[in-house]
Chain A
Amino acid sequence: MGLGIVIVGAGDCGTRAALALRGHGYSGPVTLIGDEDHAPYERPSLSKGALLCDTDPTPIVTEDRLRSLGITFLKNVPASRILRDTHEVECSDGQRIAYSKLLLATGASPRRLRDQMGRISYLRSWRDCQSLKASLSAGMRVVVLGAGFLGLEVAAAARTRGAEVTVLETQPRILQRGVPPEIAAALGARHAQAGVTIRTHVAADLSIGSHSISLGGKEEIEADLLFGAIGAIPNTRLAEAASLSIENGILVDSRLRTSDPDILAAGDCCAFPLAVAGGLKVRLEAWRAALDQAEVAAHNLAGGDQALGLLPWFWSDQYDTTLQIVGLYSADLATVRRDIDKESFVLFHFDPGHRLVAASGYGPTGRVARDMKFAEMLVANSARPDPELLGRPEVNLKSLLGA
């Protein structure tokens, strides 16, 4: 451990890993390298509350606290290459930092559309958030490209700020990936009620004009602001240049080790075997997964041998509603619906062997959370609860945990 641990990426995952190293009692040198000009902050609110009110970023930890923990925090200095032979990371300013173990928590970047005029805004960083917030105003016409979580969250925020919002999606429905159609429909209705226009199945060949966007050469939609939310690409440049294995992200094993055992990767940048899905290689762009991976990475960087046992968990907040999904939903699963009240429901998703493998909930914030927590525990236990009982709202899910 003499040379210490270097972490590239000071987002939620990298920063939590640095803190967890100290939390686990590791006392060697720790260097956290960030490419933004801020103390580490939480990203989830950037597409939600931070677009609505004037706030500072939610800090994960202050620079003072990092100092007092003996964590060297380098901000605004992107790492530029990894020298595997000498176990060093070189930064953009030329300095080299030696490591005995290295963690890559480089995150992901927005997938970009062809846009010669540079009109499309994207959102990943605090700076992006502030710039988007500053350009939103009441009455302006906003066109959101992509109806995934990010696009819909920004649509909700822009609408709440009084903009005229249109969301364009090439897929047949919103939230096509990983969200059950019942929940997509309920959330789509909430957007319609708020006055957002959602158009699915639109032509994929867009061309961006100075004041409008053209769909398949047939139709022009006027737009004062274009926002792109068509997915994210894992930041693998450093890993690729160092000849690490890449496969839809930096490929890691169940211990988060890359093809070089002294280099680990975690968070949005890595593709890992998901134990609850039989080792299927997945890359999750999810906050909780990043936090869970940070814990395991810290353990293993400090010499441990912990396998990743995370359960996928996603959430989104839009207007006054929340949605939560635990496990990996897919359309081939059998679904049982539990209506909590007029506006809130939970769906339980079973595999062909009657095992509960995923659950998803939707409704006003807070109302579905409790049932979803029990659902999470049932999924984590690989339980086979009686579907008939799950569907009855008067049955307390707690009573099914022992089953």
Chain B
Amino acid sequence: MPRLVDACSIEDVEPEDVIRFDHESHVYAIYRSPSGRFFATDGICTHEHAILADGLVMNDVIECPKHNGRFKYETGEAVRIPPCVALRTYPVRVVGDRVYLELP
């Protein structure tokens, strides 16, 4: 059964930005797109150990702070090397002003 985890308030993430969210010793990244939609992926780059929330969101892409690999945060797709493995994504639900992750 997937469970909903209360991650943050919608105010915690600026549009076109990302924050880190830790839950049960797993690191997630929560994104707010320029148009205000929320997304979530694993919070560590698939290439080397780097916290994606230290990186930069540009439109629909997150760029890793370490080696500038890029992922589409909506689908997790790796779109610029060095990473070649996609990020895992998680469904997000916004209820009122809270952002919930749907975790397996």
The 4 nearest A-B residue pairs measured at CB? A369-B65, A366-B54, A373-B56, A369-B54
- Contact B81 A373, beta carbon cutoff 8 Å: no
Q: How far in angstroms is the closest Cβ of chain A from B79?
A: 12
Q: How far in angstroms is the closest Cβ of chain B from A126?
A: 16
Q: Mark A60-74, 1 if CB is under 8 A from B, else 0.
A: 110000000000000
A101 at the interface (CB under 8 A from B): no
Q: Which residues of B contact A58 (CB under 8 A)?
A: 48
Q: Which residues of B contact A (CB under 8 A)?
A: 48, 50-51, 54-56, 63, 65-68, 81-82, 84
- Contact B65 A370, beta carbon cutoff 8 Å: yes
Q: Which A residue sits closest to B52, measured CB to CB? A: A366
Q: Which residues of B contact A45 (CB under 8 A)?
A: 48
Known: A16-B81, A288-B68. A370 touches B54 (CB 8 A): yes
Q: Which A residue sits closest to B65, measured CB to CB? A: A369
15 contacts between A and B (CB under 8 A): A42-B82, A44-B67, A49-B48, A60-B82, A61-B84, A288-B68, A291-B81, A291-B82, A322-B66, A366-B54, A366-B66, A369-B55, A370-B56, A373-B65, A374-B56
| Alpha-carbon separation in the docked complex, A365 to B54 (Å) | 9
Q: Which residues of A contact B50 (CB under 8 A)?
A: 365-366
CB within 8 A of B65: which of A44, A60, A61, A366? A366
Known: A61-B84, A366-B65, A370-B55. 11 other contacts (CB 8 A): A49-B48, A60-B82, A288-B67, A315-B67, A322-B66, A365-B66, A366-B51, A369-B54, A369-B66, A370-B65, A373-B55
User: Count the A-B residue pairs with Cβ separation under 8 angstroms: how many?
Assistant: 38
| Alpha-carbon separation in the docked complex, A60 to B81 (Å) | 10
| Alpha-carbon separation in the docked complex, A16 to B84 (Å) | 12
A199 at the interface (CB under 8 A from B): no
Known: A288-B68, A373-B63, A373-B65. A367 touches B54 (CB 8 A): yes
Q: Which residues of A contact B (CB under 8 A)?
A: 16, 42, 44-45, 49, 58, 60-61, 287-288, 291, 313, 315, 322, 365-367, 369-370, 373-374
Q: How far in angstroms is the closest Cβ of chain B from A375?
A: 11
| Alpha-carbon separation in the docked complex, A49 to B48 (Å) | 10
| Alpha-carbon separation in the docked complex, A232 to B68 (Å) | 25
| Alpha-carbon separation in the docked complex, A370 to B65 (Å) | 7
Q: How far in angstroms is the closest Cβ of chain B from A225?
A: 27
Q: Which B residue sits closest to A288, measured CB to CB? A: B68
Listed residue (A16, A44, A291, A369) with the most chain B CB atoms within 10 angstroms of its CB: A369
| Alpha-carbon separation in the docked complex, A61 to B82 (Å) | 11
Q: Which residues of A contact B67 (CB under 8 A)?
A: 44, 287-288, 315
Q: How far in angstroms is the closest Cβ of chain A from B16?
A: 9
Q: Which B residue sits closest to A291, measured CB to CB? A: B81
| Alpha-carbon separation in the docked complex, A49 to B67 (Å) | 15
Listed residue (A288, A313, A322, A373) with the most chain B CB atoms within 10 angstroms of its CB: A373
| Alpha-carbon separation in the docked complex, A370 to B51 (Å) | 11
Q: Which B residue sits closest to A373, measured CB to CB? A: B56
| Alpha-carbon separation in the docked complex, A45 to B50 (Å) | 14
| Alpha-carbon separation in the docked complex, A370 to B48 (Å) | 17
Q: Which residues of B contact A366 (CB under 8 A)?
A: 50-51, 54, 65-66
Q: Which B residue sits closest to A322, measured CB to CB? A: B66
Q: How far in angstroms is the closest Cβ of chain A from B17?
A: 9
| Alpha-carbon separation in the docked complex, A62 to B81 (Å) | 15
| Alpha-carbon separation in the docked complex, A370 to B14 (Å) | 15
Q: Which residues of A contact B48 (CB under 8 A)?
A: 45, 49, 58
Q: Which residues of A contact B54 (CB under 8 A)?
A: 366-367, 369-370
| Alpha-carbon separation in the docked complex, A315 to B81 (Å) | 16
| Alpha-carbon separation in the docked complex, A61 to B65 (Å) | 22
Q: How far in angstroms is the closest Cβ of chain A from B46?
A: 12
